[in-house]
Structures are given as C-alpha cells and as structure tokens.
Amino acid sequence: MATLGIDIGGTGIKGAPVDPLTGTLLAERLRLPTPQPARPNAVADVVQEIARHFAHTGPTGITFPAIVKNGVVHSASNVDHAWIQTDAGKLFSHHLGGPVVVVNDADAAGYAEMIFGAGRDIKGVAILLTFGTGIGSAVFCDGRLLPNSELGHLKIRGKDAEQRCSERVREKKDLSFKKWAGIVSEYLAILEQLFSPEIFIIGGGISKKADKFLPHLTTKTDVRIQPAKMQNDAGIIGAACLAATTHPSTKARNPK
C-alpha cells in the first residue's frame, strides 16, 4: 500500500505517494509554495491540498524543520514561532482525516538514506548532515535513529554551526566552495571527536554540487564522506517510510 510523503520547507512544500518497500515515488511530486507567514493553519491547508491532489487517504508522513517529539513542535529556528508547542500531528491528521506521522526533516532524509541510499548496510555510527537554509542532522547507530540531534546548533567558537556554514551562509557571503569546505571541515572535526562516525552523508540543497566541494573537505579520522543519494526526494521518501512502519496496515522496510 502506498503512503504519502510530504516535506515542509521554508519556501516550498512537496509531496508524492511512495512505495515504502522500494522507496520509489509512484507519481510526479507536487511542489506548492510555503504560505507566508507560514503559520500552522495556513501550512496545514497546503498539506491538505497536496493530499487531495493525490486523492490520498491512508497513512501520511510529514517532515518539519524543527524538533518534533510525539508530533509536537519544540523549536523554531527557521520557522514561524507560532509553531512552538503546536501539536502538528493532531493538526495535520485533522486536516487530512487519516493517520499522520510528523518527523524532523533531517531525520526523515537520514532514514531514507539509511534504507535505500548512501547509509545502506552501515554498521556503527552514521551521520547525515543537510546543508540548506539551516543545517539539519540525523544520527544513526547500527541503523537506529537517535531523533532530534540538532547538530546544526552546535557552537563553534561561540557561533551556531549553521550560522557559519549552512548553504544559505555560503551563498550570502559568496564563499568559494574551497573556502566553505574549510569551514565545514572544522565542523566535521568536532563531530568526529564527539561521535567517531563511520560515515558522513552530505544532503540538502548542496548535495547536487558534491563534485565542487567533496575534493576540498578534509577529515581527522578514517571517516568516509558521501553525498546523499536521494537528494531532494529523501525527505518525502523517509517520511513516507516512517508512516508505513508506524501503521500496521502497510508494510515497510527498516534500516539495517
């Protein structure tokens, strides 16, 4: 049975039905602009429009760019502050009339990469980092997710990592890929010290430009660095797979 995956971002909300067993999109994805201001009800209306477009009524997985615990949003670094303490799970399932799972955007992308992408069969610690408006992170050990790791807010010399080296900062400061990779390498060194990962998977908007920055990234240990395989669709696919695992009416694969 297909589940619907919806990825909520700062500028666009995208969705598509997904086969959770293979991670393939079953229809061309639909992208609608994120309403501004992006308050909860306005965003939920767009989510509903996407579900209606696909005539979807079953389980839906939805990503959100913040800390999400049991469907409730607990932070708002790059989203409207009205979301804090909003029960997004309840709000969306009310709008969609069906079961909903809400998950942090990077956790969803990481989940997809661990099952179908660059993190497949990785034992030990794997860390996915998404470089976009902010920096998202997903930490896995033997394929199991440690949710809401929020490593983009790790302080480096007094400043959030995402304020030093997100893709937005690279564009705003017009940094060359070489210069940007130098700042990212300092960040990776701290993560290596903290987690001794086997692999860093680089996702988000930047993953399309892997050939430009990968050669300039350096590491302190033997950790591997790979670009995310699913690029823009990882959030949709991961959210749809998570929705499938939590609803017994659908079959899905787990990482490992």
Q: How far apart are CA 74 and CA 49, in angstroms?
A: 25
Q: Of residues 17, 59, 61, 65, which one binds ligand BGC by CB under 6 A? A: 65
CA 10 to chain CA centroid, nearest Å? 13
Q: Is residue 104 at the binding interface for ligand BGC, with CB under 6 A as the rule? A: yes
User: Residue 165 CB, nearest distance to ligand BGC (Å)?
Assistant: 13
Q: How far apart are CA 76 and CA 138, in angstroms?
A: 17
Q: Of residues 48, 75, 219, 231, which one binds ligand BGC by CB under 6 A? A: 75
CA 124 to chain CA centroid, nearest Å? 20
Backbone dihedral region for residue 174 (phi beyond 0: left; psi -120 to 50: alpha; all else: beta): left
**Window contacting ligand BGC (CB under 6 A); options: 65-73, 95-103, 179-187, 195-203:** 65-73
**Window contacting ligand BGC (CB under 6 A); options: 39-47, 52-60, 74-82, 180-188:** 74-82
**Window contacting ligand BGC (CB under 6 A); options: 51-59, 62-70, 184-192, 242-250:** 62-70
Report the site for ligand BGC in 141-170 (rule: CB under 6 A): 150, 152, 162
Q: How far apart are CA 19 and CA 110, in angstroms?
A: 17
In the numeric block, the tokens 């989510």 are attached to: 47
Report the site for ligand BGC in 106-135 (rule: CB under 6 A): 106, 130, 134
Q: Of residues 19, 80, 105, 167, which one binds ligand BGC by CB under 6 A? A: 105
Burial zone of 172 (CB within 10 Å; 0-12 exposed, 13-18 middle, 19+ buried): exposed
Nearer to ligand BGC, 16 or 66 (CB): 66
Is the C-alpha dihedral spanning 31, 74, 241, 256 positive or negative? Answer: positive
Number of residue whose CB is nearest ligand BGC: 134
Report the site for ligand BGC in 214-243 (rule: CB under 6 A): none
Q: Dihedrals φ, ψ of 249, to 5°?
A: -75, -10
Residues at the contact surface with ligand BGC, assessed by CB under 6 A:
65-67, 75, 77-78, 104-106, 130, 134, 136, 150, 152, 162
